[in-house]
Protein backbone atom coordinates (compact mmCIF):
# COMPACT_ATOMS: atom_id res chain seq x y z
CA UNK A 1 0.00 0.00 0.00
CA UNK A 2 2.86 2.35 0.83
CA UNK A 3 4.37 1.72 -2.60
CA UNK A 4 1.09 2.38 -4.35
CA UNK A 5 0.60 5.64 -2.46
CA UNK A 6 4.11 6.68 -3.34
CA UNK A 7 3.45 6.00 -7.02
CA UNK A 8 0.22 7.97 -6.89
CA UNK A 9 1.88 10.95 -5.24
CA UNK A 10 4.48 11.25 -7.97
CA UNK A 11 1.93 11.64 -10.76
CA UNK A 12 1.09 8.50 -12.73
CA UNK A 13 0.23 5.27 -11.01
CA UNK A 14 2.29 3.08 -13.27
CA UNK A 15 3.79 3.09 -16.78
CA UNK A 16 4.53 6.35 -18.58
CA UNK A 17 5.56 9.59 -16.95
CA UNK A 18 3.28 12.61 -17.24
CA UNK A 19 5.47 14.32 -19.90
CA UNK A 20 5.52 11.11 -21.96
CA UNK A 21 1.73 10.85 -21.81
CA UNK A 22 1.37 14.48 -22.89
CA UNK A 23 3.78 14.02 -25.81
CA UNK A 24 2.13 10.82 -27.07
CA UNK A 25 -1.36 12.34 -26.74
CA UNK A 26 -0.41 15.49 -28.63
CA UNK A 27 1.67 13.82 -31.36
CA UNK A 28 -0.88 11.12 -32.25
CA UNK A 29 -3.85 13.50 -32.16
CA UNK A 30 -1.97 16.09 -34.22
CA UNK A 31 -0.91 13.50 -36.83
CA UNK A 32 -4.41 12.07 -37.24
CA UNK A 33 -6.25 15.40 -37.27
CA UNK A 34 -3.84 16.94 -39.79
CA UNK A 35 -3.48 13.86 -42.00
CA UNK A 36 -4.81 14.86 -45.47
CA UNK A 37 -7.34 12.67 -47.22
CA UNK A 38 -5.60 12.91 -50.60
CA UNK A 39 -2.28 11.22 -51.48
CA UNK A 40 -0.95 14.29 -53.28
CA UNK A 41 -1.50 16.41 -50.16
CA UNK A 42 0.52 14.20 -47.80
CA UNK A 43 3.52 16.50 -47.33
CA UNK A 44 5.32 17.97 -44.34
CA UNK A 45 3.44 21.25 -44.86
CA UNK A 46 0.14 19.45 -44.34
CA UNK A 47 1.00 18.90 -40.67
CA UNK A 48 1.71 22.56 -39.85
CA UNK A 49 -1.87 23.58 -38.88
CA UNK A 50 -2.57 23.43 -35.15
CA UNK A 51 -5.78 21.54 -34.34
CA UNK A 52 -7.70 23.38 -31.63
CA UNK A 53 -9.28 20.13 -30.41
CA UNK A 54 -6.02 18.87 -28.87
CA UNK A 55 -5.75 21.27 -25.90
CA UNK A 56 -9.52 21.36 -25.47
CA UNK A 57 -9.82 17.56 -25.33
CA UNK A 58 -6.91 17.34 -22.90
CA UNK A 59 -8.47 19.97 -20.62
CA UNK A 60 -11.77 18.08 -20.64
CA UNK A 61 -9.97 14.91 -19.54
CA UNK A 62 -8.04 16.77 -16.84
CA UNK A 63 -10.97 18.72 -15.39
CA UNK A 64 -13.74 16.11 -15.63
CA UNK A 65 -14.45 13.73 -12.72
CA UNK A 66 -12.46 10.54 -13.19
CA UNK A 67 -15.42 8.17 -13.86
CA UNK A 68 -16.59 10.46 -16.67
CA UNK A 69 -13.03 10.98 -17.88
CA UNK A 70 -12.56 7.22 -18.25
CA UNK A 71 -15.58 7.09 -20.54
CA UNK A 72 -14.32 10.10 -22.49
CA UNK A 73 -11.00 8.34 -23.05
CA UNK A 74 -12.91 5.64 -24.92
CA UNK A 75 -14.97 8.19 -26.86
CA UNK A 76 -11.94 10.26 -27.88
CA UNK A 77 -10.01 7.14 -28.89
CA UNK A 78 -12.92 5.95 -31.02
CA UNK A 79 -13.09 9.36 -32.71
CA UNK A 80 -9.37 9.22 -33.48
CA UNK A 81 -9.72 5.66 -34.78
CA UNK A 82 -12.71 6.53 -37.00
CA UNK A 83 -10.99 9.61 -38.41
CA UNK A 84 -7.79 7.70 -39.09
CA UNK A 85 -9.60 4.86 -40.86
CA UNK A 86 -11.70 7.29 -42.90
CA UNK A 87 -8.65 9.28 -43.95
CA UNK A 88 -6.75 6.16 -44.97
CA UNK A 89 -9.82 5.12 -46.96
CA UNK A 90 -9.97 8.63 -48.47
CA UNK A 91 -6.36 8.36 -49.60
CA UNK A 92 -7.15 5.04 -51.28
CA UNK A 93 -10.35 6.18 -53.01
CA UNK A 94 -8.81 9.49 -54.05
CA UNK A 95 -5.85 7.67 -55.59
CA UNK A 96 -8.09 5.17 -57.39
CA UNK A 97 -11.37 7.00 -58.04
CA UNK A 98 -10.62 10.70 -57.36
CA UNK A 99 -13.27 11.10 -54.66
CA UNK A 100 -13.64 10.68 -50.90
CA UNK A 101 -14.66 7.43 -49.27
CA UNK A 102 -18.40 7.05 -48.70
CA UNK A 103 -19.09 4.50 -45.93
CA UNK A 104 -22.65 4.00 -47.15
CA UNK A 105 -21.69 3.25 -50.74
CA UNK A 106 -18.14 1.93 -50.71
CA UNK A 107 -17.89 -0.86 -48.15
CA UNK A 108 -18.32 -3.47 -50.90
CA UNK A 109 -15.17 -2.13 -52.56
CA UNK A 110 -13.05 -3.41 -49.67
CA UNK A 111 -13.66 -6.99 -50.78
CA UNK A 112 -13.20 -6.17 -54.47
CA UNK A 113 -10.00 -4.25 -53.73
CA UNK A 114 -8.69 -7.14 -51.67
CA UNK A 115 -9.36 -9.59 -54.52
CA UNK A 116 -7.63 -7.37 -57.08
CA UNK A 117 -4.55 -6.77 -54.91
CA UNK A 118 -4.34 -10.45 -53.99
CA UNK A 119 -4.33 -11.46 -57.64
CA UNK A 120 -1.87 -8.77 -58.68
CA UNK A 121 0.70 -8.94 -55.87
CA UNK A 122 -0.05 -12.35 -54.39
CA UNK A 123 -2.30 -13.24 -51.47
CA UNK A 124 0.52 -13.99 -48.96
CA UNK A 125 2.18 -10.60 -49.53
CA UNK A 126 -1.12 -8.72 -49.26
CA UNK A 127 -2.07 -10.68 -46.13
CA UNK A 128 1.24 -9.78 -44.50
CA UNK A 129 0.82 -6.12 -45.48
CA UNK A 130 -2.75 -6.08 -44.14
CA UNK A 131 -1.71 -7.64 -40.83
CA UNK A 132 1.15 -5.16 -40.51
CA UNK A 133 -1.24 -2.28 -41.16
CA UNK A 134 -3.74 -3.57 -38.60
CA UNK A 135 -0.96 -3.98 -36.05
CA UNK A 136 0.29 -0.45 -36.69
CA UNK A 137 -3.23 0.95 -36.32
CA UNK A 138 -3.79 -1.01 -33.11
CA UNK A 139 -0.52 0.28 -31.65
CA UNK A 140 -1.34 3.84 -32.65
CA UNK A 141 -4.89 3.87 -31.26
CA UNK A 142 -3.80 1.87 -28.24
CA UNK A 143 -1.03 4.37 -27.58
CA UNK A 144 -3.47 7.27 -27.79
CA UNK A 145 -5.92 5.58 -25.43
CA UNK A 146 -3.16 4.80 -22.94
CA UNK A 147 -1.93 8.40 -23.05
CA UNK A 148 -5.47 9.72 -22.54
CA UNK A 149 -5.96 7.38 -19.57
CA UNK A 150 -2.73 8.62 -18.02
CA UNK A 151 -3.88 12.21 -18.36
CA UNK A 152 -7.22 11.37 -16.77
CA UNK A 153 -5.50 9.65 -13.82
CA UNK A 154 -2.84 12.24 -13.04
CA UNK A 155 -2.39 13.07 -9.39
CA UNK A 156 -3.29 16.57 -8.26
CA UNK A 157 0.17 18.15 -8.47
CA UNK A 158 0.82 16.85 -11.98
CA UNK A 159 -2.77 17.59 -12.99
CA UNK A 160 -2.37 21.30 -12.16
CA UNK A 161 0.79 21.49 -14.28
CA UNK A 162 -0.90 19.69 -17.18
CA UNK A 163 -3.92 21.99 -16.96
CA UNK A 164 -1.60 25.00 -17.03
CA UNK A 165 0.27 23.61 -20.06
CA UNK A 166 -2.82 22.84 -22.15
CA UNK A 167 -4.51 26.10 -21.13
CA UNK A 168 -1.45 28.01 -22.31
CA UNK A 169 -1.43 25.96 -25.54
CA UNK A 170 -5.09 26.79 -26.15
CA UNK A 171 -4.49 30.50 -25.52
CA UNK A 172 -1.50 30.49 -27.89
CA UNK A 173 -3.50 28.73 -30.61
CA UNK A 174 -6.41 31.16 -30.29
CA UNK A 175 -3.98 34.06 -30.39
CA UNK A 176 -2.24 32.71 -33.47
CA UNK A 177 -5.59 32.31 -35.21
CA UNK A 178 -6.08 36.07 -34.92
CA UNK A 179 -2.79 36.88 -36.64
CA UNK A 180 -2.95 37.01 -40.47
CA UNK A 181 0.50 35.55 -41.18
CA UNK A 182 0.71 33.00 -38.36
CA UNK A 183 0.38 29.24 -38.46
CA UNK A 184 -3.19 28.17 -39.29
CA UNK A 185 -5.29 27.13 -36.30
CA UNK A 186 -8.59 25.36 -36.80
CA UNK A 187 -11.01 22.84 -35.37
CA UNK A 188 -10.81 19.75 -37.57
CA UNK A 189 -12.53 16.74 -36.02
CA UNK A 190 -16.05 18.12 -35.76
CA UNK A 191 -16.28 19.59 -39.28
CA UNK A 192 -14.64 16.50 -40.80
CA UNK A 193 -17.04 14.05 -39.16
CA UNK A 194 -20.05 16.28 -39.86
CA UNK A 195 -19.13 16.44 -43.56
CA UNK A 196 -18.95 12.66 -43.68
CA UNK A 197 -22.34 12.31 -41.98
CA UNK A 198 -23.75 14.85 -44.46
CA UNK A 199 -22.34 12.78 -47.32
CA UNK A 200 -24.14 9.69 -46.03
CA UNK A 201 -27.40 11.64 -45.62
CA UNK A 202 -27.02 12.95 -49.18
CA UNK A 203 -26.52 9.39 -50.41
CA UNK A 204 -29.80 8.31 -48.80
CA UNK A 205 -31.56 11.24 -50.50
CA UNK A 206 -29.98 10.28 -53.81
CA UNK A 207 -31.42 6.79 -53.52
CA UNK A 208 -34.89 8.24 -53.01
CA UNK A 209 -34.45 10.23 -56.24
CA UNK A 210 -33.21 7.12 -57.99
CA UNK A 211 -36.42 5.28 -57.13
CA UNK A 212 -38.31 7.88 -59.17
CA UNK A 213 -35.88 7.45 -62.07
CA UNK A 214 -36.37 3.68 -61.95
CA UNK A 215 -40.14 4.05 -61.99
CA UNK A 216 -39.97 6.29 -65.07
CA UNK A 217 -37.54 3.96 -66.87
CA UNK A 218 -39.59 0.86 -66.10
CA UNK A 219 -42.50 2.45 -67.93
CA UNK A 220 -40.46 2.54 -71.16
CA UNK A 221 -40.25 -1.25 -71.45
CA UNK A 222 -41.66 -2.92 -74.50
CA UNK A 223 -40.48 -4.09 -77.93
CA UNK A 224 -37.84 -1.82 -79.46
CA UNK A 225 -37.49 -1.09 -83.15
CA UNK A 226 -34.05 -1.90 -84.57
CA UNK A 227 -34.99 -1.67 -88.23
CA UNK A 228 -31.68 -0.06 -89.22
CA UNK A 229 -29.70 -3.16 -88.20
CA UNK A 230 -32.25 -5.88 -88.89
CA UNK A 231 -30.55 -9.25 -89.30
CA UNK A 232 -27.10 -7.89 -88.44
CA UNK A 233 -24.83 -8.43 -85.44
CA UNK A 234 -24.56 -5.61 -82.92
CA UNK A 235 -21.45 -5.79 -80.74
CA UNK A 236 -20.71 -3.50 -77.79
CA UNK A 237 -17.03 -3.67 -76.77
CA UNK A 238 -15.84 -2.11 -73.53
CA UNK A 239 -12.11 -1.35 -73.47
CA UNK A 240 -10.79 -1.28 -69.93
CA UNK A 241 -9.37 2.07 -68.71
CA UNK A 242 -9.57 3.63 -72.18
CA UNK A 243 -10.15 7.29 -71.37
CA UNK A 244 -9.82 10.69 -72.97
CA UNK A 245 -6.35 11.09 -71.49
CA UNK A 246 -5.09 8.19 -73.60
CA UNK A 247 -5.83 10.25 -76.71
CA UNK A 248 -5.19 13.86 -75.67
CA UNK A 249 -2.61 13.76 -72.87
CA UNK A 250 0.77 14.84 -74.31
CA UNK A 251 2.41 11.89 -72.54
CA UNK A 252 0.26 9.39 -74.45
CA UNK A 253 -0.68 11.12 -77.71
CA UNK A 254 2.64 10.15 -79.41
CA UNK A 255 1.54 6.52 -79.03
CA UNK A 256 -2.24 6.74 -79.42
CA UNK A 257 -2.19 9.26 -82.28
CA UNK A 258 -0.33 7.04 -84.76
CA UNK A 259 -2.34 4.05 -83.58
CA UNK A 260 -5.68 5.75 -84.29
CA UNK A 261 -4.37 6.78 -87.71
CA UNK A 262 -3.30 3.21 -88.39
CA UNK A 263 -6.75 1.98 -87.32
CA UNK A 264 -8.34 4.40 -89.76
CA UNK A 265 -6.18 3.13 -92.61
CA UNK A 266 -6.94 -0.47 -91.66
CA UNK A 267 -10.71 -0.08 -91.67
CA UNK A 268 -10.64 2.11 -94.78
CA UNK A 269 -8.86 -0.73 -96.54
CA UNK A 270 -11.55 -3.14 -95.33
CA UNK A 271 -14.39 -0.96 -96.62
CA UNK A 272 -15.60 0.08 -93.17
CA UNK A 273 -16.66 3.51 -91.90
CA UNK A 274 -16.18 4.99 -88.44
CA UNK A 275 -17.43 7.86 -86.29
CA UNK A 276 -16.26 8.79 -82.81
CA UNK A 277 -17.37 10.86 -79.85
CA UNK A 278 -16.97 11.37 -76.11
CA UNK A 279 -19.05 9.90 -73.30
CA UNK A 280 -18.79 11.01 -69.67
CA UNK A 281 -18.33 7.95 -67.47
CA UNK A 282 -19.94 7.73 -64.03
CA UNK A 283 -16.75 6.32 -62.56
CA UNK A 284 -13.00 6.70 -62.79
CA UNK A 285 -10.10 4.41 -61.97
CA UNK A 286 -12.26 1.31 -61.51
CA UNK A 287 -15.77 0.01 -60.79
CA UNK A 288 -16.23 -0.85 -64.45
CA UNK A 289 -19.61 -2.44 -63.78
CA UNK A 290 -21.04 1.01 -63.05
CA UNK A 291 -20.09 2.14 -66.56
CA UNK A 292 -21.48 -1.03 -68.13
CA UNK A 293 -24.78 -0.62 -66.28
CA UNK A 294 -24.99 3.08 -67.17
CA UNK A 295 -24.40 2.42 -70.86
CA UNK A 296 -26.86 -0.44 -71.10
CA UNK A 297 -29.63 0.93 -68.87
CA UNK A 298 -29.74 4.58 -69.93
CA UNK A 299 -29.62 5.56 -66.23
CA UNK A 300 -26.81 7.29 -64.35
CA UNK A 301 -25.28 4.54 -62.16
CA UNK A 302 -22.50 6.26 -60.23
CA UNK A 303 -22.59 4.29 -56.96
CA UNK A 304 -22.75 0.72 -55.77
CA UNK A 305 -26.09 1.45 -54.09
CA UNK A 306 -27.63 2.60 -57.39
CA UNK A 307 -26.16 -0.41 -59.14
CA UNK A 308 -27.51 -2.89 -56.59
CA UNK A 309 -30.96 -1.31 -56.80
CA UNK A 310 -30.89 -1.39 -60.61
CA UNK A 311 -30.09 -5.10 -60.51
CA UNK A 312 -33.32 -5.65 -58.54
CA UNK A 313 -35.45 -3.52 -60.88
CA UNK A 314 -37.56 -4.26 -63.92
CA UNK A 315 -35.85 -1.63 -66.06
CA UNK A 316 -35.04 -3.33 -69.38
CA UNK A 317 -31.39 -3.38 -70.38
CA UNK A 318 -30.33 -2.70 -73.95
CA UNK A 319 -29.27 -6.36 -74.11
CA UNK A 320 -32.75 -7.50 -73.10
CA UNK A 321 -34.39 -5.20 -75.64
CA UNK A 322 -32.36 -6.76 -78.45
CA UNK A 323 -33.23 -10.24 -77.18
CA UNK A 324 -36.92 -9.32 -77.22
CA UNK A 325 -36.49 -8.18 -80.83
CA UNK A 326 -35.02 -11.52 -81.94
CA UNK A 327 -31.25 -11.17 -81.40
CA UNK A 328 -29.28 -13.72 -79.42
CA UNK A 329 -28.10 -11.68 -76.44
CA UNK A 330 -24.77 -12.83 -75.08
CA UNK A 331 -21.92 -11.67 -72.87
CA UNK A 332 -18.21 -12.32 -73.31
CA UNK A 333 -16.66 -11.73 -69.88
CA UNK A 334 -13.08 -12.97 -69.49
CA UNK A 335 -12.82 -11.27 -66.09
CA UNK A 336 -15.76 -13.20 -64.61
CA UNK A 337 -14.35 -16.16 -62.70
CA UNK A 338 -17.07 -16.63 -60.05
CA UNK A 339 -20.85 -16.75 -59.93
CA UNK A 340 -22.37 -13.68 -61.57
CA UNK A 341 -25.96 -13.23 -60.33
CA UNK A 342 -26.20 -9.73 -61.86
CA UNK A 343 -26.33 -11.35 -65.30
CA UNK A 344 -30.03 -12.02 -64.72
CA UNK A 345 -30.85 -8.32 -64.92
CA UNK A 346 -29.02 -7.91 -68.24
CA UNK A 347 -31.08 -10.71 -69.78
CA UNK A 348 -28.31 -12.61 -71.57
CA UNK A 349 -29.29 -15.83 -73.28
CA UNK A 350 -25.71 -17.00 -73.12
CA UNK A 351 -22.67 -16.05 -71.03
CA UNK A 352 -19.10 -16.82 -72.01
CA UNK A 353 -17.20 -16.26 -68.77
CA UNK A 354 -13.49 -16.98 -68.30
CA UNK A 355 -13.98 -20.73 -67.90
CA UNK A 356 -16.26 -20.91 -70.96
CA UNK A 357 -13.80 -19.31 -73.37
CA UNK A 358 -11.49 -22.33 -73.49
CA UNK A 359 -8.25 -20.49 -72.74
CA UNK A 360 -5.40 -22.88 -71.94
CA UNK A 361 -2.60 -20.35 -71.73
CA UNK A 362 -1.28 -18.70 -68.58
CA UNK A 363 -2.90 -15.60 -67.05
CA UNK A 364 -1.21 -12.22 -67.38
CA UNK A 365 -1.16 -11.58 -63.62
CA UNK A 366 -4.76 -10.59 -62.79
CA UNK A 367 -5.72 -10.66 -66.48
CA UNK A 368 -7.14 -14.09 -67.25
CA UNK A 369 -6.38 -13.96 -70.98
CA UNK A 370 -5.20 -11.44 -73.61
CA UNK A 371 -7.74 -9.51 -75.66
CA UNK A 372 -6.73 -11.13 -78.92
CA UNK A 373 -7.71 -14.51 -77.55
CA UNK A 374 -11.02 -13.13 -76.24
CA UNK A 375 -11.98 -11.78 -79.67
CA UNK A 376 -10.86 -14.98 -81.38
CA UNK A 377 -12.96 -17.07 -78.98
CA UNK A 378 -15.95 -14.76 -79.50
CA UNK A 379 -15.76 -15.32 -83.24
CA UNK A 380 -15.30 -19.07 -82.87
CA UNK A 381 -17.75 -19.81 -80.05
CA UNK A 382 -20.46 -17.18 -80.55
CA UNK A 383 -20.63 -15.43 -83.91
CA UNK A 384 -19.73 -18.47 -85.98
CA UNK A 385 -22.44 -20.77 -84.56
CA UNK A 386 -25.01 -17.95 -84.60
CA UNK A 387 -24.21 -17.24 -88.24
CA UNK A 388 -24.81 -20.90 -89.08
CA UNK A 389 -28.11 -20.75 -87.19
CA UNK A 390 -29.19 -17.66 -89.11
CA UNK A 391 -29.72 -15.54 -86.01
CA UNK A 392 -27.90 -12.25 -85.35
CA UNK A 393 -26.14 -11.69 -82.03
CA UNK A 394 -26.19 -8.72 -79.71
CA UNK A 395 -22.94 -9.15 -77.79
CA UNK A 396 -21.41 -7.28 -74.88
CA UNK A 397 -17.66 -7.86 -74.63
CA UNK A 398 -15.35 -6.65 -71.86
CA UNK A 399 -11.71 -6.48 -72.97
CA UNK A 400 -9.33 -6.49 -70.00
CA UNK A 401 -5.72 -6.43 -71.25
CA UNK A 402 -5.58 -2.71 -70.41
CA UNK A 403 -6.60 -3.34 -66.79
CA UNK A 404 -4.11 -2.56 -64.03
CA UNK A 405 -1.41 -3.64 -63.23
CA UNK A 406 -0.64 -3.28 -66.98
CA UNK A 407 2.08 -5.89 -66.96
CA UNK A 408 3.05 -7.97 -68.81
CA UNK A 409 2.02 -6.24 -72.02
CA UNK A 410 0.66 -8.76 -74.57
CA UNK A 411 1.96 -8.90 -78.12
CA UNK A 412 -0.18 -9.73 -81.19
CA UNK A 413 0.25 -13.15 -82.76
CA UNK A 414 -1.01 -14.54 -86.05
CA UNK A 415 -4.77 -15.06 -85.71
CA UNK A 416 -4.52 -18.48 -87.30
CA UNK A 417 -2.04 -19.57 -84.61
CA UNK A 418 -4.13 -18.60 -81.57
CA UNK A 419 -5.78 -21.99 -81.04
CA UNK A 420 -6.45 -22.66 -77.36
CA UNK A 421 -4.20 -19.81 -76.22
CA UNK A 422 -1.15 -21.83 -75.21
CA UNK A 423 0.81 -19.71 -77.67
CA UNK A 424 0.55 -16.85 -75.16
CA UNK A 425 2.21 -18.78 -72.31
CA UNK A 426 5.66 -17.28 -72.83
CA UNK A 427 4.24 -13.75 -73.02
CA UNK A 428 2.34 -14.23 -69.76
CA UNK A 429 5.56 -14.76 -67.80
CA UNK A 430 7.58 -12.03 -69.52
CA UNK A 431 8.17 -8.43 -68.58
CA UNK A 432 8.54 -6.75 -65.22
CA UNK A 433 6.47 -7.90 -62.23
CA UNK A 434 3.87 -5.49 -60.83
CA UNK A 435 5.99 -4.61 -57.80
CA UNK A 436 8.76 -3.35 -60.08
CA UNK A 437 6.44 -1.49 -62.46
CA UNK A 438 4.51 0.25 -59.68
CA UNK A 439 7.66 1.37 -57.90
CA UNK A 440 8.06 4.02 -60.62
CA UNK A 441 5.02 6.13 -61.66
CA UNK A 442 6.57 6.87 -65.06
CA UNK A 443 6.96 3.15 -65.64
CA UNK A 444 3.30 2.64 -64.71
CA UNK A 445 2.30 5.21 -67.34
CA UNK A 446 4.50 3.63 -70.01
CA UNK A 447 2.94 0.24 -69.39
CA UNK A 448 -0.57 1.69 -69.35
CA UNK A 449 -0.37 3.25 -72.81
CA UNK A 450 1.33 0.14 -74.20
CA UNK A 451 -1.66 -1.97 -73.19
CA UNK A 452 -4.07 0.54 -74.71
CA UNK A 453 -2.02 0.52 -77.91
CA UNK A 454 -2.11 -3.27 -77.94
CA UNK A 455 -5.88 -3.46 -77.55
CA UNK A 456 -6.53 -0.85 -80.24
CA UNK A 457 -4.22 -2.69 -82.63
CA UNK A 458 -5.98 -5.98 -81.96
CA UNK A 459 -9.39 -4.37 -82.44
CA UNK A 460 -8.42 -2.87 -85.79
CA UNK A 461 -7.13 -6.24 -86.99
CA UNK A 462 -10.27 -7.99 -85.78
CA UNK A 463 -12.59 -5.48 -87.43
CA UNK A 464 -10.74 -5.69 -90.74
CA UNK A 465 -10.93 -9.50 -90.65
CA UNK A 466 -14.32 -10.17 -89.11
CA UNK A 467 -16.62 -7.14 -88.97
CA UNK A 468 -18.83 -8.43 -91.76
CA UNK A 469 -22.01 -6.38 -91.95
CA UNK A 470 -22.26 -5.93 -88.17
CA UNK A 471 -22.41 -2.74 -86.12
CA UNK A 472 -19.57 -2.38 -83.63
CA UNK A 473 -19.66 0.06 -80.73
CA UNK A 474 -16.26 0.37 -79.04
CA UNK A 475 -15.98 2.50 -75.92
CA UNK A 476 -13.87 2.99 -72.85
CA UNK A 477 -15.42 2.15 -69.51
CA UNK A 478 -13.63 4.85 -67.51
CA UNK A 479 -10.43 6.83 -67.18
CA UNK A 480 -7.55 5.10 -65.37
CA UNK A 481 -6.43 6.14 -61.89
CA UNK A 482 -4.91 9.53 -61.17
CA UNK A 483 -1.39 8.09 -61.22
CA UNK A 484 -1.91 7.81 -64.99
CA UNK A 485 -4.09 10.83 -65.79
CA UNK A 486 -3.00 13.30 -63.13
CA UNK A 487 -5.49 15.11 -60.88
CA UNK A 488 -8.67 16.75 -62.14
CA UNK A 489 -8.66 14.89 -65.45
CA UNK A 490 -11.79 14.71 -67.56
CA UNK A 491 -14.08 11.74 -66.94
CA UNK A 492 -14.75 11.36 -70.64
CA UNK A 493 -14.06 8.18 -72.59
CA UNK A 494 -13.93 7.69 -76.37
CA UNK A 495 -16.70 5.86 -78.20
CA UNK A 496 -16.17 4.58 -81.76
CA UNK A 497 -18.92 3.45 -84.13
CA UNK A 498 -17.76 1.08 -86.88
CA UNK A 499 -19.83 -0.46 -89.67
CA UNK A 500 -19.71 -1.32 -93.34
CA UNK A 501 -22.97 0.63 -93.65
CA UNK A 502 -21.69 4.16 -94.28
CA UNK A 503 -25.22 5.58 -94.16
CA UNK A 504 -25.72 4.16 -90.67
CA UNK A 505 -22.44 5.63 -89.45
CA UNK A 506 -23.46 8.95 -90.98
CA UNK A 507 -26.42 9.06 -88.59
CA UNK A 508 -23.99 9.20 -85.69
CA UNK A 509 -22.06 11.97 -87.40
CA UNK A 510 -25.30 13.90 -87.79
CA UNK A 511 -25.86 13.38 -84.05
CA UNK A 512 -22.59 15.15 -83.23
CA UNK A 513 -19.93 12.46 -83.62
CA UNK A 514 -16.69 13.15 -85.50
CA UNK A 515 -15.76 11.30 -88.66
CA UNK A 516 -13.11 8.62 -88.21
CA UNK A 517 -11.44 7.20 -85.13
CA UNK A 518 -10.35 10.46 -83.52
CA UNK A 519 -13.07 12.32 -81.59
CA UNK A 520 -12.82 16.05 -82.15
CA UNK A 521 -11.47 18.03 -79.18
CA UNK A 522 -14.37 20.46 -79.54
CA UNK A 523 -17.00 17.72 -79.49
CA UNK A 524 -19.37 17.82 -76.53
CA UNK A 525 -19.09 15.16 -73.84
CA UNK A 526 -22.37 13.27 -73.87
CA UNK A 527 -23.31 11.58 -70.55
CA UNK A 528 -22.87 7.83 -70.81
CA UNK A 529 -26.45 7.40 -69.64
CA UNK A 530 -27.58 9.21 -72.79
CA UNK A 531 -26.02 6.72 -75.18
CA UNK A 532 -28.70 4.01 -74.97
CA UNK A 533 -31.55 6.44 -75.78
CA UNK A 534 -29.49 7.80 -78.68
CA UNK A 535 -28.83 4.31 -79.99
CA UNK A 536 -32.50 3.35 -79.71
CA UNK A 537 -33.41 6.46 -81.67
CA UNK A 538 -30.84 6.05 -84.45
CA UNK A 539 -31.38 2.33 -84.94
CA UNK A 540 -35.16 2.69 -85.11
CA UNK A 541 -34.92 4.73 -88.29
CA UNK A 542 -35.23 2.81 -91.53
CA UNK A 543 -32.41 3.15 -94.01
Look at 201-210, 371-380, 390-399 and tell me which has the smallest mean pLDDT: 201-210
Q: What is the pLDDT of residues 61-76, one digit of tens each?
A: 888 888 888 889 999 8
In angstroms, the CA 516 to CA 274 distance is: 5
Region 392-409 average pLDDT: 95
Region 37-53 average pLDDT: 78
Instruction: Decide if pLDDT at 292 tops 50.
Output: yes
Would you place residue 8 in the very low, low, confident or very high pLDDT band (cuts 50, 70, 90)? Answer: very low
The pTM score is: 0.75
Instruction: Decide if pLDDT at 367 tops 60.
Output: yes
Report cis status (omega within 30 of 0) of the bond before 250: no
Q: How confident is the model at residue 114, as a pLDDT?
A: 67
In order of their start, the domains of the chain are 2-201 (no CATH), 234-540 (3.40.720.10)
Q: What is the pLDDT of residues 325-353, one digit of tens each?
A: 999 999 999 999 888 989 999 999 999 99
Instruction: Decide if pLDDT at 13 tops 60.
Output: no
Would you place residue 14 in the very low, low, confident or very high pLDDT band (cuts 50, 70, 90)? Answer: low
Mean pLDDT of the chain: 87
Give 521 or 317, the one with higher predicted confidence: 317
Q: What is the pLDDT of residues 88-108, one digit of tens each?
A: 888 887 776 777 888 777 776
In angstroms, the CA 73 to CA 80 distance is: 11
Degrees to nearest 5, angle at CA 97 with 204 and 43 = 110
In angstroms, the CA 473 to CA 494 distance is: 10
- Greatest Cα-to-Cα distance within the chain, rounded to the nearest angstrom: 101
Sort 243 into a burial class: Cβ within 10 Å, 0-12 / 13-18 / 19+. buried
Region 440-459 average pLDDT: 96
DSSP 394: E
Region 279-293 average pLDDT: 93
CA-nearest of 5, 15, 1, 60 to 150 is 15
Sort 146 into a burial class: Cβ within 10 Å, 0-12 / 13-18 / 19+. middle
Q: Strand runs (DSSP E) across 381-442, as ranges?
A: 393-399
Q: What is the pLDDT of residues 492-508, one digit of tens each?
A: 999 999 999 999 999 99
In angstroms, the CA 195 to CA 159 distance is: 35
Would you place residue 518 in the very low, low, confident or very high pLDDT band (cuts 50, 70, 90)? Answer: very high
Look at 112-121, 159-168, 371-380 and tell me which has the smallest mean pLDDT: 112-121
Amino acid sequence: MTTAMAQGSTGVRRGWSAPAAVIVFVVIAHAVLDLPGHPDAVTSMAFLPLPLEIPLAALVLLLTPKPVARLLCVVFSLCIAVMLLLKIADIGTQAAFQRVFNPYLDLKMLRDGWDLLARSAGRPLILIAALALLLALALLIGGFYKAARHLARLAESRRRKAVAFFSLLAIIEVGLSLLPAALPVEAKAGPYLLRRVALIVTSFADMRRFESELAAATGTSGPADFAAVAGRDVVVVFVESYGRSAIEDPRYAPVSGPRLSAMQRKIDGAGLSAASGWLTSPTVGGLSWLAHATTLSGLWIDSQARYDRLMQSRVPSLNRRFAQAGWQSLAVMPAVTLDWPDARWYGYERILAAADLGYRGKPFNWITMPDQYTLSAFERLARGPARVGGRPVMAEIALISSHAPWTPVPEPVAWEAIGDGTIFAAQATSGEPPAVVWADPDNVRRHYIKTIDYTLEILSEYLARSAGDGLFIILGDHQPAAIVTGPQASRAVPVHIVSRDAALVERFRQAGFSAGFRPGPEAAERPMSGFAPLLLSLLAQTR
